[in-house]
Amino acid sequence: MANPLLGVLFHWLGGLASGSFYVPYKGVRKWSWETFWLAGGMFSWLICPWIGAFVLSKDLLDVLHETPSYTFWMTYLMGALWGLGGLTFGLTMRYLGMSLGMAIALGYCAAFGTLVPPLVKGEFADKLLNHSGTSVGGPVVLIGVVICLLGIAIGGIAGVRKEKEMSGKASTIAEFNLWKGLGIATFSGVMSSCFSYGFQFGGPISVISKAHGTGPLWVGLPVIVVILLGGLTTNFIWCVLLNIRNRTGYQYLASHVREEHAHHGGRGSGEHGPEETVVADNGVTDLKIPVLGNWFFCALAGTCWYFQFFFYQMGESQMGNYKFSSWTLHMASIIIFSTLWGIFFKEWKGAQPFTKKLVVLMLALLVGSTCIIGWGNKKSEDALKTRVESTTTNTAKPMQQ
């Protein structure tokens, strides 16, 4: 029997991992973005998924071999499309700024990733509106999703206010372009939600894994392997192209960095801007690359990133008939913990009191939405358990007579 409240806890742990994974990248020195992103990604998308699936699931290679070609390649394709969403996420920040861009992109991602699967399957009316009378928790889950989207919107408003208040200007974004940014944010959000669709297409893989004896908490691990193979493909191609264009491919093993790349590393700005690539007038005194340290921080960041979906599939396994609601729980948890990290690093220092109150309101709404969604799932699971017990009792009575 599913345990939605335990599922919410697992999603919180996944959100903590996702909201924290970029912190180790701050320790990377003298590496360009594409170098440390791909180095960490090898752990995120390849090494950790395969180790996790080999250790905790049964007969991984046999399970993948028995997977129908359509299921495998559609799951892989969803991972590749998700990779496109992640790569364009940086452009969203470039044209809309961090706060507004993240709010819009994650808002689209949460909405599409949660609501499209039941719509496509024709389950929206029954599962979320309780049209058939068998999903008593469905309306509660839908309210939780709406509250989550409201919280994301308020977070966007708080972010815009912060940028204005802390700069004294209309915008601190050099290349601010509302309509271009909205278009890219829409693309990024919709493509990023494809990870959720990957779990939908990969359902048969979980069934096969279960048939091989894998426990209920781990049946999703082989699905993650396939999704992240797609994500690896997209990110690998893009990062290698950047390595070639920016002539940074030597950095993975080099002991010293070239002067034109000496100011890169660990700031998470995506493709470098002019301020990162220009060498200071007084020259560069330290060109030594801490190779082992960089690989350590990338491995730590990549492993932390993987754990978000490790816990995600554990949480999804406990959500009963509302597995699609896991995506909202995941998005909400990411924003909660990334915002808490922002507060810890004093990113909101200097913002006006009303703006800080909006941040508190956003956090309250997001935390509340996860609790409401968990409660709605539990209501439906309890109702299902009651119906099963009632049916069992009614079946047993004639036999006793």
Q: Is 60 within the bounds of a domain? A: yes
Percent of the chain with pLDDT over 90: 35
Predicted pLDDT of residue 396: 56
The C-alpha atoms of residue 29 and residue 360 are separated, in whole angstroms, by 34
Are 144 and 328 spatial neighbours (Cβ–Cβ below 8 Å)?
A: yes
* pLDDT score of 280 more than 60: no
Q: How many domains does the chain have?
A: 1
Predicted pLDDT of residue 1: 66
With residues binned 3-state (H G I as helix, E B as strand, rest as coil), the percentages for the chain, rounded to 5, are 75, 0, 25
Q: What are the distances in angstroms from CA 349 to CA 150, 159, 336, 356, 357?
A: 24, 12, 18, 9, 13
Interval 216-227: pLDDT, tens: 899 999 999 999
Predicted pLDDT of residue 279: 42
Are 202 and 75 spatial neighbours (Cβ–Cβ below 8 Å)?
A: yes
- Give DSSP secondary structure letters for 274-324: HHHHSPPTT--S--B--HHHHHHHHHHHHHHHHHHHHHHHHHHTTSGGGGG
Interval 80-121: pLDDT, tens: 999 999 888 767 766 776 666 767 787 788 888 888 877 777
- CA torsion angle 340 344 349 352 (round to 10): 30
Interval 53-83: pLDDT, tens: 999 999 999 999 999 999 999 999 999 999 9
Q: What is the reported pTM?
A: 0.80
By C-alpha distance, which of 203, 152, 231 is closest to 313? 203
Q: Is 397 within the bounds of a domain? A: no
Q: Is 278 within the bounds of a domain? A: no
Q: Is 394 within the bounds of a domain? A: no
The C-alpha atoms of residue 294 and residue 107 are separated, in whole angstroms, by 33
Interval 252-262: pLDDT, tens: 999 888 887 77
Q: Is 145 within the bounds of a domain? A: yes
Predicted pLDDT of residue 210: 94
Q: Is 393 within the bounds of a domain? A: no
By C-alpha distance, which of 247, 266, 195 is closest to 25? 266
Q: Is 396 within the bounds of a domain? A: no
Q: Is 395 within the bounds of a domain? A: no
* pLDDT score of 2 more than 90: no
Predicted pLDDT of residue 274: 35
Q: What are the distances in angstroms from CA 307 to CA 174, 207, 215, 300?
A: 35, 22, 18, 11
The C-alpha atoms of residue 41 and residue 6 are separated, in whole angstroms, by 29
- For the chain, the average pLDDT equals 82
* pLDDT score of 367 more than 60: yes
* pLDDT score of 124 more than 90: no
Q: What distance, in Å, lies between the first and last C-alpha atoms of the chain?
A: 30
Range of the domain at 265: 4-272+287-383
- Phi then psi for residue 256, to 5 deg, are -135, 150
Degrees to nearest 5, angle at CA 25 with 151 and 279: 115
Instruction: Return the structure tokens found at 168.
Output: 């004294």
